Amino acid sequence: MNFNRKDYTDDDLLMLYRGILKPRMIEEKMLILLRQGKVSKWFSGIGQEAISVGSTLALDPDEYILPLHRNLGVFTCRDIPLDRLFAQFQGKKTGFTKGRDRSFHFGTNEHHIVGMISHLGPQLAVADGIALAELLDKREKVTLVYSGDGGASEGDFHEALNVAAVWGLPVIFVIENNGYGLSTPSNEQFKCQYFIDKGPAYGIDALQIDGNNVLEVYDTVRQAAYSIRKNPRPMLIEAMTFRMRGHEEASGTKYVPQELFERWAKKDPVENFEKYLLDEKVLTPKSLAAIREEIKEEIERGLDTAFNTPMPVADAKEELADMFLPFMQTEIRPKDSARTERRFVDAVSDGLRQSLERYPELVIMGQDIAEYGGVFKVTEGFVEKFGKERIRNTPLCESAILGIGLGMSIKKKKSVIEMQFADFVTSGFNQVVNNLAKSHYRWGQNADVVVRMPTGAGAAAGPFHSQSNEAWFFHTPGLKIVYPSTPYDAKGLLNAAIEDPNPVMYFEHKLLYRSLTESIPDDYYTVEIGRARLAQEGDEFSIITYGMGVHWAKQLLQTMPDVSADILDLRTLLPWDKEAVRQTVEKTGRVLVLHEDTLTGGIGAEIAAWISEHCFTSLDGPVVRVGGLDTAIPFAPPLEQEFLPVKRLKEKVEQLLSF
């Protein structure tokens, strides 16, 4: 192995040696503990240490790194206390996730590390978000993120690299090419010979390095980072390496030809660098022994502390509270009485505009939202007022943009992300339910992201532009869901959602955009998230609903002048207002739950079950549900009308009144 020290001093080389030796010694200890049953699982990076160590030491300490399974060297080179690191591996509360996640599935802003999730690819976009925030703040910083050769097969890889290239983001994408994605060899993962072949297709500079040469890794990343800080742009670095153990220890290595182990054992990154330093007289046998003894003692001290720390004691109250960053909303009233008649779409636009004025750190992202103003013209004119840095057209890449929102949150930015239609969120579903929703619970990092979701049927737009998919997210702890039915609430709840530092899915029914007008305050104001409102009062029964259901209920009752009913508009679906539901149930004794979404597994089922469990003695009949047919949403208007619950609503009301 050829080491070119250039102008690096003996101290520089010793820094690299200490950096690469520590994770190797920790790994060797972890393999012993695994056999002893003292740790439950281990993903070995033996043979790949030079990549994480060289690249981490090449960056400034305040530049973010996003590691994966085999990047122990990132954590050790960022001087994370070993007792906390080992406590993390053992699921102790003194780790970084309070026992809620394992191994390297954690982040720490103190050390500028954002850990992985098991889906691998989504973190590439999070790196884009951090880099975008640095760019907006005009800080000359780079962000570095790793991908394995297997993980680079995911769509997230393409989306992240493409956005980084289009936006000129200062990100270094390091591809650890060890020849296998778990057991699947490279020739079954991709057709090109090397990942540097992909760089020109994205318009990205691409370099290939010996991933087992810590000095080459360090020098290459150091020079790349210096260049990118001065001239922001992404760069792809392919580090050629080999994994000397299984994907994780339980999977073994029988699928790997023996000759590969023999070939790569000769390229061991620790042994070769150690030999080089001894030959160069940078190390002596005595100093080598002293360094090893020092690291060994540090490991043993850390293990002693971690092993002597008890396992966490479960506390349901704490677990539930940690799903969100603590935030106490104080409802903001308008400063003056000036009001204007505004359509629903204008109210949404007004809320966005005033929030952009209120929060200079707020950025709006979405397809066609800049000069075009969005397909529904909600952001029309925003570019002229706020500029393209804050009103950002995106490529068609929902997953990447949602991940970018989380990355920007890490740097204290707010973002509103528009799904062109709520249906399209499926392309970014993983980012929502596994990254935005779980981030604070896992390692205390909030996702200050609002996802705007134009939703609903009735415009003959067919199966892919008409879905009501709020129930998909209703089942996901860590999200808040808002679904206004009036212009007043549309503006006030949107402002509240943007104010809230937690992830909010904000649904807007498309049919209400230009069909509903209301006099609303000109000034900025908020509506309390989590509080329902009585849209109409009566005493014979209660209709509990939200969104378009509020208007369907009102229209029906206008045709039934002899019937008196409460219409409770939930407005917020997570958290939903249980006390308001209880009050209307106790008042009328008969309940109908209405929503546009398909009936089976809908939000109405949860509300009906809760009423049956908690308000049973107040009921004078069964809780009745009305929802969409259990089909996809058809295109032809007669079929779509059959899908919608409107025509079944009266029948169900009459059924309820018979009790």
Catalytic residues: 465
Going 38 to 39 to 40 to 43, the CA torsion angle's sign is: negative
Cβ atoms of 355 and 349 within 8 Å: the answer is no
> Which ranges of 101-213 would DSSP assign to H, the alpha helix?
122-136, 155-167, 199-202
Q: Which residues pair with 532 in a beta bridge?
A: none
Q: Which amino acid is residue 124, in one-letter code?
A: L
Distance between start and end Cα atoms, the chain:
85
Nearest partner of 507 among 460, 556, 550, judged by Cα: 550
For β-strands 235-240 and 205-210, DSSP reports them as parallel
At CA 251, angle to CA 246 and CA 253, rounded to 5?
45
Assign 3-state DSSP to the chain and report helix, strand, coil percentages, each to 5: 45, 15, 40
SS (H, E, C) 315-353: CHHHHHHCCCCCCCCCCCCCCCCCEEEEEHHHHHHHHHH
How is residue 114 annotated by DSSP?
Answer: -
CA distance 476 to 431: 12
Cβ atoms of 3 and 54 within 8 Å: the answer is no
Four-CA torsion 517, 519, 523, 529, nearest 10 degrees: -70
CA distance 657 to 649: 12
What is the gyration radius of the CA atoms in the chain, in angstroms? 28
Nearest partner of 430 among 455, 403, 450, judged by Cα: 403
> Which ranges of 168-243 would DSSP assign to H, the alpha helix?
199-202, 214-230
Residue 145 makes CB contacts below 8 A (sequence gap 6+) with 65, 66, 123, 124, 126, 127, 160, 171, 172, 173, 174
